[in-house]
Amino acid sequence: MDFELSEEQRLLKESVQRLLADRYGFEARQRYMAEPEGWSRQVWRQYAELGLLGLPFEEKYGGFGGGPVETMIVMEAFGRALALEPLFATVILGGGLIRLGGSAAQQQALLPKIADGSLLLAFGHVERQSRFDLFDVATTAKKDGAGYVLDGAKSVVLHGDTADKLIVSARVAGARRDKSGVGLFLVDAKANGMSRRGYPTVDGLRAAEIQLSNVRVGADGVIGEAGNALPLIERAVDIAIAALSAEAVGAMAAMHELTVEYLKTRKQFGVPIGAFQVLQHRAVDMFVALEQARSMAYFATMMAEETNAIERRKAISAAKVQIGRSVKLVGQQAIQLHGGIGMTMEYKVGHYFKRATMIDTLYGDADHHLAELARLGGLVSRA
């Protein structure tokens, strides 16, 4: 039981923080957002140089062989910086599916390119009706010779507008809500029959709606086992939720610091407003919620690669519940305690609030995961 970072992890943390401190001032972020793709290619190259884009991959694929702790370090720093680049979509989600479920040939072809920054991925999975159920897939994949033909639509594909390739889930067999029969397919963004409409998201990032009509995928584009991809999807999503938890902690820590600083400097009635006990206790409630969330981000990190899928799912659900609840308390109070200035686009705290709030809605909100945890029997055994 050791929560101290190793020497290498400490160096990673310092170098990520330094890069983001250099490149991610509030003004710079506004500029990147205004770029055509909604983020900075230049900063992306710097992530690649620093090794961040190959962090979880094996060294033979140009990676660092990092584990969940390294991912946590980077994502927390991203949360603090409100970084816009598609690291989560490309490295954690897309890269995660390839790393965990791709063939040796697919890994060889894709992972080095992700690591060097030349390949962007996105994961097209959510559909209009599926909400948070990972097994609910209506998009179809019909066998066609050695490959498949895909038809359907994918919703709110994170960074789907700039991805070079998409990993798309589609049903090869069974009914829409069956747990078996789901496959994963690697599709080129420019493939015939693919169309996408990109848009900004409310938290300043980007996403796309994707249409697939008669999109052909060869045998080499099937990821994992075509009719049995749900366990792989769950694994990758659980790792992604652990990463998002760390990002949320970074954003919450920043909101809490900004708020405490504001309480110390903003004067009303002749005193800093932090002298008022009612506001002090509110700031403490935020602190408690932040630290409990940090603890659960650690727990998610610790359990992200757990081999027992049920134990892993329960742990990740528990973490996502805490993150969702903490985000609501910390975010809402950060705005409230700032008063009017917290409501403005020109001040930073609201941007953190929006990003952290959207993290709650990604891959299951607090209510969804609470129900999941309850259904799976909870964390304390009855025996």
- Residue 338 Cβ vs other proteins, minimum distance, rounded to whole Å: 15
DSSP run (H or E) holding 171: strand 165-171
From 77, 81, 321, 337, residue interacting with other proteins (rule: CB under 8 A): 321
Residue placing its CB nearer to other proteins in the complex, 234 or 291: 291
The reply on whether position 357 binds other proteins by CB under 8 A is: no
From 28, 48, 173, 275, residue interacting with other proteins (rule: CB under 8 A): 275
- Residue 346 Cβ vs other proteins, minimum distance, rounded to whole Å: 26
From 17, 228, 280, 361, residue interacting with other proteins (rule: CB under 8 A): 280
Residue placing its CB nearer to other proteins in the complex, 4 or 27: 4
Q: Give dist(CA 294, CA 11) in Å, integer.
A: 21
From 82, 218, 293, 352, residue interacting with other proteins (rule: CB under 8 A): 293
The reply on whether position 11 binds other proteins by CB under 8 A is: no
Q: ∠ CA(100), CA(53), CA(112), 5° rounding?
A: 65
From 287, 328, 348, 361, residue interacting with other proteins (rule: CB under 8 A): 287
The reply on whether position 375 binds other proteins by CB under 8 A is: yes
- Residue 33 Cβ vs other proteins, minimum distance, rounded to whole Å: 32
- Residue 89 Cβ vs other proteins, minimum distance, rounded to whole Å: 26
Q: CB–CB of 84/78 below 8 Å?
A: no
Token pair recorded at residue 299: 């727990």
Residues in 227-266 that interact with other proteins by CB under 8 A: 260, 263-264
Residue placing its CB nearer to other proteins in the complex, 192 or 307: 307
Token pair recorded at residue 35: 């770029």
- Contacting residues for 259 by C-beta, under 8 A, at least 6 apart: 283, 286, 333, 334, 337, 338, 349
The reply on whether position 382 binds other proteins by CB under 8 A is: yes
Q: Give dist(CA 241, CA 46) in Å, integer.
A: 25
The reply on whether position 15 binds other proteins by CB under 8 A is: no
The reply on whether position 310 binds other proteins by CB under 8 A is: no
The reply on whether position 44 binds other proteins by CB under 8 A is: no
Q: What is the DSSP string of 10-26?
A: HHHHHHHHHHHHHH--H
Interface size with other proteins, residues (CB under 8 A): 44
- Contacting residues for 234 by C-beta, under 8 A, at least 6 apart: 134, 309, 313
Give the gyration radius of the chain's Cα atoms. Answer: 21
Q: What is the DSSP string of 187-233?
A: EETTSTTEEEEEEE-TTS-EEEEEEEEEEEE-GGGEES-TTB-HHHH
From 64, 299, 352, 363, residue interacting with other proteins (rule: CB under 8 A): 299
Q: Give dist(CA 58, CA 45) in Å, integer.
A: 20
Q: Give dist(CA 301, CA 369) in Å, integer.
A: 17
The reply on whether position 288 binds other proteins by CB under 8 A is: yes
The 10 Å Cβ neighbour count of residue 272 is 15
Residue placing its CB nearer to other proteins in the complex, 123 or 299: 299
The reply on whether position 301 binds other proteins by CB under 8 A is: yes
Binding string, residues 67-106; x marks residues near other proteins by CB under 8 A: --x-------------------------------------
The amino acid that residue 201 corresponds to is T
Contact footprint for other proteins (CB under 8 A): 1-6, 9, 69, 260, 263-264, 274-275, 277, 280-281, 283-285, 287-288, 291-293, 295-296, 298-299, 301-302, 318, 321-322, 370-371, 373-375, 378-383
